[in-house]
Amino acid sequence: MNKKGSERKAIFLTAMALLGLIVGLAIFKGVSNFLDDTTYWKIYYARDLGLLMDIGMAARGDIEINYNFIQAEKPLVFKLKKQHIEIYDYNPEIKEPVLTTFRFATDNKIIIGTNELLASYFKIFFSEDKVNVSEEPLEQALCPGLNTSSAPEFTLIFVKSDNPEIEELIKNGLKIENFVITLSPELASLSLVVQKTEKESLNFYYEKETRRSKKLSCLIKNQIIEDNPEGLFISRLEKIEDNSEWKNTLANAKLGMLVKVNNLNNEIGKSITKGVISYYG
């Protein structure tokens, strides 16, 4: 009995020692990982679905973040500060954005440069001593295979822009291809409005004809990418807001499109013209 009791006691003490060792190692690993931010990243950020980020471990203490504006519900603005990263909801109507999310965990090993990023796709790579950011421009997409061909001489197009030079450039480019320019959106096969925006983006807004709007925006975007390979844009297609001054202009035509682009110049105007011509070609 004493022998059996001693064996049971030995087994119990051994089990408790192993359990204590496991708990101790777990605590040590947790503290160690917290110091190099791995626990914080893996537990806190990887579960934050609202940011729509793909976060993975590149190595011990190294984090790689992938964020795709195209797949996200709405883009985010990333500001890299000296000791943290600020993330804002992207809203062109708000001049002074309010910080909407938490700070990144950092320690004295992480050095972050100051920069503002608003791109179609980028990676943020954290190592022990620095943060690297790589950016990639938008790529051309496969447009919907919808038959939208129309003889130019029977196609009336209404063109308006907040830049008179761009407006005339687009009109003249369409006239050369025998398209008919109209002053009345109600008579137009297409109402095309082009505006400049302060944000680094290429956005399209429509009122009706979703499939046709997708094709037109896709062709214009592809043409801009082809003509401006170094350009860096966020590109989105959205339903125009009810309070927009251009809602009726887009609604009254058979097809309406509002294009907003930050770098509105002659080259962009020519690319938009080519996209429209391709749509009806």
pLDDT, residue 236, reads 81
Domain ranges of the chain: 38-136, 152-280
Does pTM surpass 0.85?
A: no
10: alpha, beta or left, given left = phi > 0 and alpha = psi -120 to 50?
A: alpha
Helical spans, DSSP H, in the chain: 2-35, 38-40, 164-176, 210-227, 247-252, 266-280
Helix (H/G/I), strand (E/B), else coil: 236? strand
Residues contacting 45, CB < 8 A, separation 6+: 51, 53, 55
Reported as half-sphere exposure (CB side, CA atoms, 13 A), residue 259 has a value of 33
Give residue 113's pLDDT band: very low, low, confident or very high (50, 70, 90).
Answer: very low
| Under 8 Å between Cβ of 156 and 192 | no
Does 51 have pLDDT greater than 50?
Answer: no
Please provide residue 177's backbone torsions phi and psi, each rounded to the nearest 5 degrees. Answer: -90, 10
Average pLDDT over residues 40-65: 43
Does 145 have pLDDT greater than 60?
Answer: yes
| Under 8 Å between Cβ of 158 and 179 | no
Options 2.60.120.380, 3.30.70.560, 3.40.630.40, 3.40.50.300; CATH of 152-280: 3.40.630.40
List the one residue out of 212, 202, 196, 198 whose CA is nearest residue 265.
Answer: 196
Condensed to tens digits (0 to 9), the pLDDT of residues 204-246 reads 999 999 999 999 999 999 999 899 876 666 678 889 989 999 9
Please provide residue 106's backbone torsions phi and psi, each rounded to the nearest 5 degrees. Answer: -140, 165
Tokens 């030079």 — which residue? 165
Give residue 26's pLDDT band: very low, low, confident or very high (50, 70, 90).
Answer: low
Give residue 262's pLDDT band: very low, low, confident or very high (50, 70, 90).
Answer: confident
Q: Which two tokens stand for residue 114?
A: 């100051």
pLDDT, residue 61, reads 41
